[in-house]
Structure 1
Amino acid sequence: MRVVIGECQVDYGGRLTAHLPMARRLILVKADGSVSVHADDRAYKPLNWMSPPCTLTVTAAADTELAATTGDIDSKIREVWMVRGKNGDYLQISLGEVELDYSTELGVDPGLQKDGVEAHLQALLAENPAAFGDGWTTVQREYMTAIGPVDLLCRDELGCYVAVEVKRRGEIDGVEQLTRYLELMNRNPLLGEVRGVFAAQQIKPQARTLASDRGISCVVVDYDALRGLDHAEDRLF
């Protein structure tokens, strides 16, 4: 991971355009190739970012095409980062005065330690993959990727691989997490095309909408039924 704090202006181009004027910000470059720009608020959410796979090219300001053709370059800008995404979109970060530029290796993260209910829910689903559909099988729990483990790797009734992310409460963050896993897994030729399932006891409407937009299926899981504490034949209605 590379951490940079300094003056920068940011321009995004792609499906839309966006501009952040020069200001002091935090820039993170992670081992998975992602680049994100943060202000001193918004908790974890960046002002702008580029998800992997993407490429980062760093050029001295004096050597940029803009300076060469027009001479019109802000004297504060020392170098320009060009981050290009897989769909042709780009993030241009023009850096001025840099206060901190630090790089380190974090290593493989062990992943979030789930609470008792969530961990038990994952184990129950691994033992009962038919909760997702007839003919499903569990390949592996905690299937490791370069950015952390996917809760379950399964095969559906057609034998295709499916990555399953398990949450007690399904929110947008969980969908984003599964999206990142799928981006990496779908680049693995040994797996082929991998689709995603977001499984939880409750799933918020916003998470459902985002999952649908990403091509991810949502499954609401009955925890008590999986534990054998609730039987449909015993219900009055």
Structure 2
Amino acid sequence: MIAECKVEYVGRLTAFLPMAKRLILFKSDGSVSIHADDRAYKPLNWMTPPCWTTEESAPEDSDAQAVWVVTNKAGEQLRITVASIDHDSSHELGLDPGLVKDGVEAHLQELLAEHVTTLGDGYTLIRREYMTPIGPVDLLCRDADGQTVAVEIKRRGEIDGVEQLTRYLELLNRDTTIAPVAGVFAAQVIKPQAKTLANDRGIRCVTLDYDRLRGTESTEFRLF
């Protein structure tokens, strides 16, 4: 839906998007996200499942057409006040085959699962491709202290990978059977901006040596 709207978030903090034209996505899993015409990798605000949407009557002293209230099980809310609707359509996308990783990235996941102590002494693997409501996290592990750790693996670590892991952690930490869940962002190369964002969010970064994981020596020349 494309609509002129304002959005209020009420929960652990308060946030407000003033009236403007935006894209609103209502997905079949119940999630709702509000997008501007930029920031391709992240919406302006969102509510992840489980959540539900109800409609309230617009205040009589306003020009609003509707007020939609999106609520999750923690009682947090997105209140979307709609002034006008430019476009409204519904589409059935069917089953999605999921993300197909390239050969190196898929092999990195397989190798790291086999040699999970690369992440730290005492690490053990719980499961590969641990499913969340928004997709599978590459590895779910347990560290030496018994804490659950979610590991996202990339060939090249960039900001969007950190954002992806952040969303996984938000959902995983709602599961009382495994929370608290820490995060590890693992890649062959991690860009400085991604490291900065990961550190700011309490996510540990690990640089992977593909040749070492395969049990081979690098062919690059070395001084020592």
TM-score using structure 1 length: 0.77
Instruction: Report if aligned partners of 1:154, 1:164 keep a CA contact under 8 Å in 2.
Output: yes
Shift of the 204–84 alpha-carbon distance from structure 1 to 2, 3 Å rule, reads: farther
Assess if the C-alpha contact under 8 Å between 2:119 and 2:206 holds in 1: yes
* Whole-angstrom distance in 2 between the partners of 1:179 and 1:224: 28
Report the Cα offset of residue 212 of structure 1.
1.9
CA-to-partner distance for each residue in 1:169-222, whole Å, 9 max, x for gaps? 111111111122122222223223211111011111221222222221111111
For the 8 Å contact 2:47–2:78, the answer to whether it is kept is no
Residue 146 of structure 1, CA deviation: 1.9
Match of 2:18 in 1: 19
What SS does the corresponding residue of 1:102 show, helix, strand or coil?
coil
Of residues 169, 180, 189 in structure 2, which corresponds to 1:193? 180
Question: Which AA in structure 2 matches 1:153?
Answer: L
Give yes or no for contact 2:8–2:14 (8 Å, CA) kept in 1. Answer: no
**How far apart are residue 148 of structure 1 and its match?**
1.1
Aligned to 1:134: 121
Q: Deviations over 1:66-92 (max 9, x none)?
A: 43xxxx311xx3111234676967453
CA offset at residue 111 of structure 1?
2.9
Q: What amino acid is the match of 1:219? A: V
Alpha carbons of 1:103 and 1:121: their partners in 2 closer, same or farther (altered >3 Å)? same
Which residue matches 1:30? Answer: 27
Corresponding residue for residue 48 of structure 2: 52
1:97 Cα offset (Å): 3.2
Contact map agreement 1:50 1:91 (CA 8 A) in 2: no
Q: What 5-or-longer segments of structure 2 have no aligned partner?
A: none
Identity value in percent: 53
Check 1:18–1:146 CA distance in 2 against 1; reply closer, same or farther (3 A cut): closer
SS at match of 1:112: coil
Supply the distance in 1 between the matched residues of 2:34 and 2:190 (Cα, whole angstroms): 29
* Aligned equivalent of 1:96: 84
Closer, same or farther: CA 140–11 of 1 in aligned 2, 3 Å: closer
Counterpart contact for 2:105–2:153, Cα < 8 Å: yes
Q: Do the aligned partners of 1:10 and 1:19 also contact (CA within 8 Å) in 2?
A: yes
Contact 1:50-1:83 at 8 Å conserved across structures: no
Amino acid of the structure 2 residue aligned with 1:35? V
* Equivalent residue for 1:180, pick from 154, 161, 167: 167
> Does the aligned pair in 2 maintain the 1:208–1:218 contact within 8 Å?
yes
Contact 1:154 1:161 in 2 (8 A): yes
Task: Quote the Cα distance in structure 2 between the aligned partners of 1:174 and 1:208.
Answer: 11
Residue by residue, what CA displacement relative to the aligned partner does 1:144-180 show, whole Å, maximum 9, x if unpaired? 2222111111111112211100001111111111122
Tell me, in whole angstroms, the C-alpha distance in 2 between the residues paired with 1:97 and 1:236: 65
Q: 1:98 deviation in Å? A: 5.2
Within 1, Cα distance between the matches of 2:39 and 2:191? 21
- Select which of 149, 153, 165 maps to 2:136: 149
Bigger CA radius of gyration: 1
Aligned-pair CA distance for 1:26 = 2.5
Q: CA deviation at 1:46?
A: 5.8
Return the match for 1:171 from 158, 164, 174.
158
Where do 1:195-210 residues align within 5 Å?
A: 195-210=182-197
Unaligned segments of structure 1, at least 5 residues: none
Count of residues in Structure 1 that have an aligned counterpart in Structure 2: 217
Distance 1:119 1:57, change over 3 A: same
